[in-house]
Amino acid sequence: MTPPAGETAAHPGPASEGVTLLIVDDNEDAVWGLRTLLELAGHTVLAAGTGERGFAAAQAHRPAIALLDIGLPDMSGLELARRIRATGWGHELALVALSGLGQEDDVRQSKAAGFDAHLTKPAEIAQLRALVAELAGRKAKP
């Protein structure tokens, strides 16, 4: 079955020790690249192409980590992060901002919206892997 436009189904990675991640980005090529990288690292990856679909996926699946594009078509990633953090479950997941902008003010705005980290696109593979491992490790600790 094909998922609705702008949304892709979950694909489990090859290893069982991974975590579930959610990518919210309207750029399908970016989603494909991130998904491939994360699945090869053993993670299960969900994806959504809009803020509304991303919020619904986060609420339904409660991923350990969500990678949110700041420039979404229906709402900003900053707004989506604030909306997630305002829920009862919103502090259970780590939020990572993905943005083409990486100046100090951009990072400050991300932190103020509730993001745990800010990555500038295109994110370097080693940096992304290290960050996901660090955030997944935090989620594993009691």
Q: How do the pLDDT tens digits run along the chain, 142 residues long?
A: 334 445 555 544 444 469 999 999 999 999 999 999 999 999 999 999 999 999 999 999 999 999 999 999 999 999 999 999 999 999 999 999 999 888 999 999 999 999 999 999 988 999 999 999 999 987 655 4
Q: For residue 112, what are the contacts with CB-CB under 8 A and spacing of at least 6?
A: none
Whether 4 is in a domain gets the answer no
Whether 3 is in a domain gets the answer no
CA distances from 35 to 69, 88, 122 (A): 14, 27, 14
Whether 1 is in a domain gets the answer no
pLDDT in the model for residue 104: 94
Contact 107, 116 (CB under 8 A): no
Whether 136 is in a domain gets the answer no
* Residues forming beta bridges with residue 8, ordered by sequence position: 47
Whether 139 is in a domain gets the answer no
* CA R_g for the chain: 14
Whether 125 is in a domain gets the answer yes
Using left for φ > 0, alpha for ψ between -120 and 50, and beta otherwise, residue 74 falls in alpha
Full domain range(s) for residue 56 = 20-129
Could you tell me the CATH number of the domain that includes residue 91? 3.40.50.2300
Give me the numbers of helices (H) and strands (E) for the chain, helices first please.
Answer: 5, 6
Whether 9 is in a domain gets the answer no
Our measurement of the distance from residue 119's CA atom to the centroid of its chain's CA atoms, rounded to an integer in Å, reads 11
Give the count of domains, the chain.
1
Whether 74 is in a domain gets the answer yes
Decide: helix, strand or coil at residue 100. Answer: coil
